[in-house]
Structure 1
Amino acid sequence: MNDPIWGIDLGGTKIEGVILPSLNDATPILRTRIDSESGKGYEHILGRIRLLITQMQEQSGLQPKRIGFGTPGVLDPVLKTMKNCNSTSLNGEPLQSDLENILGVPVVLANDANCFALAETHWGVVKQKFDDAAIVFGIIMGTGVGGGIVMNGKLWSGRHGIAGEWGHNYLDPSGGPCYCGKTGCVETILSGPALEKFYHSISGKKATLKEITHNYLSPQPDEAARQTIERLALFFGKAVSVITNLLDPDIIVVGGGVGNIDVLYTSGVEFLRQHIFNNRLDVEVCKPALGDSAGVFGAAALVS
C-alpha cells in the first residue's frame, strides 16, 4: 500500500494542510488550516509551518515521507532561493532547504498556479472532461495573473522555474507599468485590479469587479462597464491565443475571481478562435471544478 500524500498551501493569510490517501483517492484523511501571520517575517512563517505539520501528525497519527508545498512564488532552480513572491518576506530565502531542515523530510515546492493546474488535471474538470489530455494549461486570473503547465500528468517548470508565467508576457501598452518592471503585461490588463483601474479611468467612478460585472449584466448596463468587460474578452482571446499557438494544449482551465466572468467563455473564446494560427478552435476552455481545494490538493499531488 502506498503512503498517504501530504500537501501544504502557503498563502498570505492562511496555511492549509491536507493528507490524501493517494493520487487515485482524493478523499481527505485530514484537512486543516492555521493563520500564516506572514507579516511577522520569514522565521515566523517557518515556525507556523512546523506547528501545522506537528498538529497534522498528532491529529492523524501519520508521519509524512515527503511533503508538497504550494507557494506564492517560485524556487529559482539555480540559486535555490525564492523569487516573485507576493509574500515578500519569502523572496531571496532558501525555503526548500530550510523546510527540509526543520521538518526532517524532503519537500517539493511549486507555485499556486502550478498546483491549481495539477489538481484540476488529476481530480477536477480535466479528469471529468478530458481524462486523456496530454497538455493542460491552468490559468489563475484574480489579484494577479499566472499559469501552470501540466504535461502527461506532471508539472513542467522550465529552466528558470517560470514556465507558464503567462501573466508577464507582453500584451498591450494600454496596461501601463507592471510591478515586475515591464510595461503592458497580461496582468496589467486582465487582473481584477487592472479591470477596476480601467473602469475608473473611463468613468471617474470607483467600483469593485463584482459591481462592474453586475452593471454589465443589468438590463441597462452603464457604458463604462460595457467597455471594461468587452475589453476583457478581447484581450483574453488575444492573450490566450499566444498560449494556444505555442503549446497547443488539449484543455485550458481558467480559475480565479476574473475567471468567473461568463463572457470569457463566449466572446472571449470567439476572440481566441480569431487569433490562433488555425482555421478552427478545438481546445476546450473551461471553468475549474475544485474551488478553493485546488491549491492544497495540487500541493499533495507534487509528491504522488
Structure 2
Amino acid sequence: MAFKRDVLSRERILFIVNPISGGEDKIRFPELVDKFLDQKIFDAEIVFSEYGGHASYLTEEAIMQEYDCIVAVGGDGTINEVASKMVFSGRKMGIIPCGSGNGLARTLNIPLKKEKAVQLLNRNTVRTIDSGKFNNKRFFNVAGFGFDARISALFADNAQRGLKGYVVSVLKEISRYEPKIYRLYIDGKKYERKAFMISVANSSQYGNNAHISPKARIDDGLLDVCIIKPFPLYWFPVLIARMLLKNVDGSKYLEIIKGKNIKIEQEEIGPVHIDGEPLTEIKQIDINVEHLSLKVLV
C-alpha cells in the first residue's frame, strides 16, 4: 500500500529571502515555491529580510518555533547569517543561491537557477559539513586577510555588484597593494610569512569557481591556510587562470598548511573578511574548525 503523507506530518520549512542580494528583485519568489516545492513533503512559509542582520534574527526565531528546515535565499552574506545561527541546532538548512559568487552553493553542487534549487529541496537529502569559527563569528566558505580582504571592503561599497564589479575593484588595487608580514600559529607550530594575502578555506573556492585550495574538503575537520606569496604583477592573470582550472595548488607562489586551531597575527591592524563580507579591521584572529556542525540539504 502506498504511504500517504498526512498534513500534520509535513515538515515545516521557512524561506528567509534577502530581496536585494545579487542585485535581483525577488518579489515573485513565492510563485516559484508554490510551483516547484513539493507540498506533500513541506508546509512552507516565506519571510523577507529588511536590513543587515535581520536574517540572523529571523533564523533564531525560526529555531525557537521548531521549524524543521530554514532556507536562505540570497548571497553568501545572507547564507552566512542564517547558517551561523543554525550551527549545532540539529535543524536542516537549505540554500537558494542568489549572490555574486555563490561559493558555498557551488561547492555543494546546488543549482544556481532558483527553480532548480527549490526542486532540489524535495529530495530532502542531508549533508553535514564543517564550519569555521573566526574570533566570535563563523564562516563556511573562506575567510581572508590581505588583498582579498581589501577588495571585499571596496566591493561592499561598489554600486556595480557582480563579477564585473569585482574585477574592476581588483584592477584598480592590484598594482599599488603592498604585501604584509604575518605570524601564524597552526596546531601549535609557528610560521612567519610575507604574503600578498592569506585565505583560510573551509571549502575549496571563493566563488565563481575560483578554487584557492582545490583539494580542500568541507567535511574533513580541517581548515586550509592558503598563503599567496609576493609575486610579479605579470603572474596575476596566471593565478586567476590556475584557480579556474583547479590547479593553483601546484604553484610556487602558493603554500597550503592544513590545521584545526589557528592564530594569525597581522603586523599592523588591517582588513579581514568572512565569506566575502568585510569586518572591522583587526590585528589578531583566532580560528578553529567546528567539525560536522551544520546540516545542509543537497
Which structure has more strand as a fraction of its residues?
A: 2
TM-score normalised according to structure 1 size: 0.32
